[in-house]
Amino acid sequence: VAALSTLSEKRGRLHGVDGIWALIGADAVIFAFLFGSFMQERLHNPGAFEVSRHTLNINLGGIDTLILLTSSWTVALAIQALKRDLAERMPRYLLVGMLTGLLFMACKAIEYVQKLAHGITPATNSFYMWYFTLTGIHLFHVALGTALLAYVWIRSRRGRYRSTNRAVPECVASFWHLVDLVWIVLFPLLYLMKAA
Amino acid sequence: MSVLYERVTKVWLALMVLTVVSTWGLSNGLFGPTVAVTGIFLIAAVKARFVMLDFMELRYAPVPVRAAFEGWIVVVVAMILGFWFLTPPAG
């Protein structure tokens, strides 16, 4: 009976507070509309989108993906440690999560500088307008998520979290995983989608 | 707790391998556009589902919440592929 009640408790539980899931859900829906708008624009001008896509750095985009996945993994490890009352392990995992977030931002900065150095701006054509807009909005999420991870990291170093007090780290972790989730779709959409 | 035995670690490894397959495998010239694009987006859907269920821990969420998030990735990938198949060739 105890095991069953634990299972049903486990089954019906959301990370953090319910409000964060409304925010994450709304954000995910907004991104879905943006992806649809990108595809609609591409429908009318596949040639220009294909030529422009070839100028993007696929290797750097792939590395960005590996960086974000690693970041999400370490943040998930931090939450696992917290749940098991191993809160002293949290700061090291969160630090890696935060540093990989900064690394992603550095990679994006390199990519933007490369584009601008070649005279490519959002005004160049509609593909680049979408490229800068979508990656820019995503980058804002990365910056916000990294700042939130820094906040949780500082507080975890001071021993502020316990397995019974983990709503804030779980909310931040869930937001960080959304950032990863969006990039998982955004990267192939912009960088890998060949024309028919 | 050994990190190596954590489910999230196994999931992370799978995500890394899937990323390498789609970025440096399917997207090179070996495959035609239809196979490459379909494969790349199906892999993206699998990766997104792993992130939702294991990193966000939606595996244990109330069924309507889990269904909404899993539905999101199905709708997004179906929409992208639908538009892709409707788009005329670039040439």
Q: What are the tens digits of pLDDT across the range A27-36?
A: 999 999 999 9
Asked if B87 lies within 8 A of A195 by C-beta distance, the reply is yes
Asked if A177 lies within 8 A of B51 by C-beta distance, the reply is yes
Which residues sit opposite A165 in a β-bridge? Answer: A162
Task: Tell how far CA A107 is from the center of its chain.
Answer: 14
A3 pLDDT above the threshold of 70: no
Residues in chain B, total: 91
Distance CA B76, CA B70 (A): 10
Which stretches of chain A are DSSP H helices?
2-11, 18-44, 46-53, 58-83, 90-117, 126-157, 167-187
Burial B66-78 (b: 16+ CB within 10 A, else e): bebbbebbeebbe
B37 chain-A contacts, CB cut-off 8 A: 192-194
Distance CA B34, CA B26 (A): 11
Q: What are the tens digits of pLDDT across the range A113-141?
A: 999 999 999 999 999 999 999 999 999 99
For the CA atoms of A111, A114, A115, A119, what is the dihedral angle to 10 degrees? 170
Asked if A14 lies within 8 A of B61 by C-beta distance, the reply is yes
What local confidence, expressed as pLDDT, does residue A139 receive?
98
What local confidence, expressed as pLDDT, does residue B29 receive?
82
Q: Which of residues 54-73 of A touch B (CB under 8 A)?
A: 58, 61-62, 65-66, 69-70, 72-73
Task: From residue A5, give the alpha-carbon distance in Å to each of A2, A9, A10, A12, A23.
Answer: 5, 6, 8, 11, 29
